[in-house]
Structure 1
Amino acid sequence: MSKQLSLQGIFSKAQIMGFNPYSKSVFGQLRTCRTLSNGYHLSQCSDCGHQQMQFHGCGNRHCLFCGHLGREQWVGQRQQELLPTTYYHVVFTLPHELNGLMMGNRTLLYNLLLDASSQTLLQFGKDPKYLGAEIGITSVLHTWGQNLSFHPHVHCIVSGGGFDGNQWHHSKRVSGKFLFPVGALKIVFKAILMKGLRKLRPKLRLNNLDFEELLSQIGRKTWNVYAKRPFGGAKGVLEYLGRYTHRIAISSNRITEVGQSTVSFTYKDYADGSKVKQMTLSHEEFLRRFEQHILPRYFVKIRHYGYLRNRGKQERIKQILSSMQLCERKPLPKLSVEQFILEKYGTDIGRCQCCGEGRMVCIAVIYGPSCEPIKSESQVRNKASPV
C-alpha cells in the first residue's frame, strides 16, 4: 500500500476523535485526496486510443501531497519582485508560556505575531541610524517544530535596503553580516507584542488563566529573535521560499513508515547538534499533533509588508527599479500544467505512455458522485496514471 493511502486510512480516524468540525472537514478532504470520491479526468490517446484516468487532488493547503505546482508558480511570481540587494532571514519566536493562550485564540494571536514582527522590522528600517527607508518583508507563519510540537514563530525575508518614495537606500551596516542589532530587535518586538496582548485582553478566551501572572512570566524572560546570515544572492532567497512557504506541519518525504497503529518520521534534534533522528507516534497522537497546525479558516499565513505590501505594489516596484536605473521586468507567461512540468522536469505528461507517439486528450471530467459507472476504486487505480 502506498504512503498516501496509508496516511488516508489514519486521517479517517479523525472523524471519531474530539476535534472541532472544521478540523474534521480538513481531515475529510485529506482522506479523499486522489481517490474515486474526488473524481477524475479521463484522457484518450489521439493515435492508439489508449485511455487513462487521473484522480483529482483535494487542493487543501494542509495536504501532504497537493500544492507543489502552486508553490512553484508562487515562487516564480516572487522572482519578479527580487531586487539586486542583500536579503536577510529573521525568525521571531514567542515564549512557550503563551502556547496555551494561543491554542484558544489562534486567529487573534497569529495576527498579532505577524503584525508585531513586521512592525518591529519596519520601525528599525525607518530609523535613519540603520537605513532611513521602507524595507520589504515577506513573512511566513510556522506553528510547528520538527517533532510536530506546537511552536509558533514567524520567518521573515527582509530586504537589505529600502525605498523612501524617491530613491533606494542601501544598508549602512559596514560588515553586512546583519541588518539590525538582534538585541535591540528582541526588546522592541517584546514591547510591541506585549502591548498588543493587553489591548486584545477583552477579546481573548482566558479559560481561568491568570492573565497578569502570564504577562509577568513572559515579561521577565529574554525573547528569542534569531537573525541568520545573509542569503547567497537572489537564488538563495528563492530556494528558501520554495522550501518553507507552502508547507504545513510535516512533508511526506519525512514520513518513513505508516504501520497498523503507529507512524514513524525523521526529525532534526537541534538540542543534540541537529542530528537526524526518528520518532514513532501512535495514530491518535500523530493526528492530535497534526491538528494543532491546521490554520483557522481563511487565515492568510504568508504576508507582505513595507514596499512589498499588496496595495500599489507593482507601481512601487516600477519606481524602485527606475530609481536603481534598472529595466522594468516583463510579467511571467502563464503556463499550463503540461507546459510547466515539461519545462521544469523535462517530462512530457501529454505523451501517450502506451504507444509513445500520440497525445493524450481529455475527453471527460468526472466529479464525486458522478463516478457511478466505475465498479470499484481498485479498478480505477489500475488504469490511472501515477501521480
Structure 2
Amino acid sequence: MTNITQNKLKYIFSNNNILLDSLKFCKKNNIGDSHLEYIKLSIDTFLACRDISKGFVKFKRPLCPVTHLFPITCKSKLCPSCGYRYSMTWSENIQKHILDIEHRHVLFTVPEECRKFFFYDRSLLSKLSTAVNQVFKFVFHNISRKRKRKNKISEHSKYYFTDSDIVHYGLISVIHTFGRDLKWNPHVHAIVSLGGFNKNLEFRKMRYFNVDTIAGQWKYLLKIIENGSYPSKKIEKDARNTATKLYKENRRFFFNVGNGDINSTKGIIKYLGRYLARSPIAEYKITDITDKEVTFFFNDLANDKKKTYITMPSERFVSHILIHLPPKNFKMVNRYGFYSRHISDRLKEAIDAFRKNIAVLRYSFYQRQMYKTFGMNPFYCPVCKVKMIVWEFYHYRYPPLKKYY
C-alpha cells in the first residue's frame, strides 16, 4: 500500500489522470452539463478543504497579539469529515422538532431492473420521497376503507375523515443512491411516527403497519419510471416494458420494517445521523491504494454481513463515487406531516404537548468537539478570555484578502 499521510479520498482524487477519465465517464453516462460543472466544483472545493493556502478566516482581539487562523472547509458531500459534521449539526437542530413518541425505521428499495431508469433521469429521485409519503398517507388515512364506502364522500367534506383516522402523521425521509458496494442502488430511509392526530387534533396511536398494504402501494414507483424523461426512445420503451413485466408478475416489492420501535428522541436522532449527508464510502473502509487500483471492504447484507473486499481500477472507483453526487440544491432529506416546515398554528399547539424539553446548547457542535479534544474554545482568546472577532478573510475562489479592521 502507498504510504499516505493525508486524507485517503483526497489522495485518490488528486490524481489528475484518474479524475479526467472519471469525468469523461460521467459525461458519457447522461450527467448533464450543469450537474457536471457542479461535480467539478465539488471536487475542487473538496481538494482545497482545510488547506490554509486556499482559504482561511483569521480571528483576533483589537488590542491583543494572539490570532487564531481557521482553514475553510468544503462542506462537500464528497468529504467524510464535512459530511459527519453536517449530519451531527443537522441532527442537533432537528431535535426540538421531534415528538417524544414511538417511531419506526422503514427502508424502501427499488427492484434491480428499475434502478437504471433513475440514473437516466435523476429528476425521478425526488419523486421517490413523494411516493413514500403517499404510501403512508394511504395507510394513516385509511384510504382503502374509504374506497369501499357505498356512499362516497368528497375528500373536501368534513365527514371524509372519521375520528379513528390519523390525519396528521410525522415522516422524515432520506434518499440514498449508493449501496454498500458503491453500485447504483437508489433507496429511501424513512423514519415514521407510530401514530398521529385525528381531525379533532386528538392523538391516536398506530398499533402496527399492514405490510401487504405498504408493499402494494410501493408499486407506484412503476408509474414513476413509466413517466420518466429519458435521453432516447429506446430507453423510454425499455422503461414501459419493464413496468409492464413487473405489473404482470405481481411481484412484491421489497421494503424492510426495522426491528423494534425507536422509543426515544435520542434514538431517532441516532438513526437520522446515520443516514444523513454521508460520503458514499467511509475512509476506514479503504484498505489499500496503489497507483492503479483501490481496495475497500463492505459488510454484505446478503451474506450475513460478512466482510467482503473489492479491488477495482482507480478510475472506476472515482467514477462510482462521483455518480452519487446529487445535482446542486437537490433535497436528500424531506419532511412531511407534522414534521414539515409549514403547519397550521392549531397543529403546532397540539404537538407542543408531545415535544420533549431539550436544553438549548450554548455552543456549536464544532466548539464542543474542540473543547472536548483540546480543552479550549477556538473562538475565545486564550489570554483575554474574550470572544474574538473576524479580522481577515481569504478564499482562493474570491480573492483578494479581505481585511475588516
Aligned-partner residue type, residue 233 of structure 1: S
Q: Does 1:157 align with 2:191?
A: yes
In the alignment, which residue of structure 2 is the partner of 1:319?
A: 350
Cα drift, residue 343 of structure 1: 6.8
Q: Does 1:205 align with 2:209?
A: no
Supply the distance in 2 between the matched residues of 1:45 and 1:12 (Cα, whole angstroms): 45
How many pairs align? 359
Supply the distance in 1 between the matched residues of 2:384 and 2:366 (Cα, whole angstroms): 15
Q: Secondary structure at the match of 2:277?
A: coil
C-alpha RMSD of the superposition: 3.4
Shift in CA distance, 254/37, structure 1 to aligned 2, threshold 3 Å = same
Supply the distance in 2 between the matched residues of 1:12 and 1:138 (Cα, whole angstroms): 40
- Which of the numbers 78, 83, 86 marks the counterpart of 2:99? 83
- Does structure 2 retain, via aligned residues, the 8 Å contact 1:143–1:153? yes
Shift in CA distance, 232/11, structure 1 to aligned 2, threshold 3 Å = farther
Q: Secondary structure at the match of 1:239?
A: helix
Supply the distance in 2 between the matched residues of 1:276 and 1:146 (Cα, whole angstroms): 11
Offset from partner CA, 1:114-163 (integer Å, 9 cap, x none) = 11111001210111889611210000001111110111000000001111
Cα drift, residue 10 of structure 1: 4.2
Cα drift, residue 314 of structure 1: 7.3
**Structure 2 length as normaliser, TM-score?**
0.77
Supply the distance in 2 between the matched residues of 1:257 and 1:44 (Cα, whole angstroms): 42
Supply the distance in 2 between the matched residues of 1:11 and 1:241 (Cα, whole angstroms): 35
In the alignment, which residue of structure 1 is the partner of 2:253?
A: 223
Q: Does 1:275 align with 2:306?
A: yes
Shift in CA distance, 273/167, structure 1 to aligned 2, threshold 3 Å = same
* Structure 2 residues without counterparts, runs of 5 or longer: 28-35, 146-162
Supply the distance in 1 between the matched residues of 2:108 and 2:185 (Cα, whole angstroms): 11
Offset from partner CA, 1:55-112 (integer Å, 9 cap, x none) = 21112233222143332221122211222311101111111111221111011x1022
Aligned-partner residue type, residue 218 of structure 2: F
Cα drift, residue 222 of structure 1: 2.1
Shift in CA distance, 369/184, structure 1 to aligned 2, threshold 3 Å = closer
Supply the distance in 1 between the matched residues of 2:197 and 2:258 (Cα, whole angstroms): 23
In the alignment, which residue of structure 1 is the partner of 2:335?
A: 304
Q: Secondary structure at the match of 1:142?
A: strand
Answer with 56-65 or 341-350: which moved more: 341-350
- Does structure 2 retain, via aligned residues, the 8 Å contact 1:88–1:157? yes
Q: Does 1:341 align with 2:369?
A: yes
Shift in CA distance, 321/208, structure 1 to aligned 2, threshold 3 Å = same
Cα drift, residue 317 of structure 1: 3.4
Supply the distance in 2 between the matched residues of 1:314 and 1:30 (Cα, whole angstroms): 42
Cα drift, residue 290 of structure 1: 0.6
- Which of the numbers 97, 104, 125 marks the counterpart of 1:110? 125
Q: Secondary structure at the match of 1:295?
A: coil
- Does structure 2 retain, via aligned residues, the 8 Å contact 1:41–1:54? yes
Cα drift, residue 280 of structure 1: 2.6
Shift in CA distance, 67/274, structure 1 to aligned 2, threshold 3 Å = closer
Shift in CA distance, 369/287, structure 1 to aligned 2, threshold 3 Å = closer
- Which of the numbers 188, 209, 224 marks the counterpart of 1:180? 209
- Which of the numbers 133, 137, 140 marks the counterpart of 1:125? 140
Supply the distance in 1 between the matched residues of 2:256 and 2:216 (Cα, whole angstroms): 13
Cα drift, residue 342 of structure 1: 5.4
In the alignment, which residue of structure 2 is the partner of 1:100?
A: 116
Cα drift, residue 295 of structure 1: 0.7
- Which of the numbers 20, 29, 38 marks the counterpart of 2:45? 29
Q: Does 1:194 align with 2:222?
A: yes
Aligned-partner residue type, residue 208 of structure 1: K
The within-5 A match list for 1:126-141 is: 126-127=141-142, 132-133=165-166, 134-141=168-175
Aligned-partner residue type, residue 14 of structure 2: G
The within-5 A match list for 1:62-81 is: 62-81=78-97
In the alignment, which residue of structure 1 is the partner of 2:271?
A: 240
Aligned-partner residue type, residue 273 of structure 2: G
- Does structure 2 retain, via aligned residues, the 8 Å contact 1:77–1:332? no
Offset from partner CA, 1:228-287 (integer Å, 9 cap, x none) = 121242221111111111213122333334333222323111121102233232210111
Cα drift, residue 334 of structure 1: 6.3
In the alignment, which residue of structure 1 is the partner of 2:158?
A: none
Supply the distance in 2 between the matched residues of 1:182 and 1:11 (Cα, whole angstroms): 49
- Does structure 1 retain, via aligned residues, the 8 Å contact 2:140–2:169? yes
Percent identical across equivalent pairs? Answer: 21
In the alignment, which residue of structure 2 is the partner of 1:383?
A: none
Supply the distance in 2 between the matched residues of 1:61 and 1:131 (Cα, whole angstroms): 43
Answer with 357-366 or 224-233: which moved more: 357-366
Supply the distance in 2 between the matched residues of 1:37 and 1:237 (Cα, whole angstroms): 40
Shift in CA distance, 265/11, structure 1 to aligned 2, threshold 3 Å = farther
Cα drift, residue 37 of structure 1: 5.8
Supply the distance in 2 between the matched residues of 1:138 and 1:239 (Cα, whole angstroms): 13
Cα drift, residue 216 of structure 1: 2.2
**Structure 1 length as normaliser, TM-score?**
0.80
Supply the distance in 1 between the matched residues of 2:233 and 2:81 (Cα, whole angstroms): 37
- Does structure 1 retain, via aligned residues, the 8 Å contact 2:117–2:225? no
* Structure 1 residues without counterparts, runs of 5 or longer: 174-178, 374-387
Q: Secondary structure at the match of 2:191?
A: strand
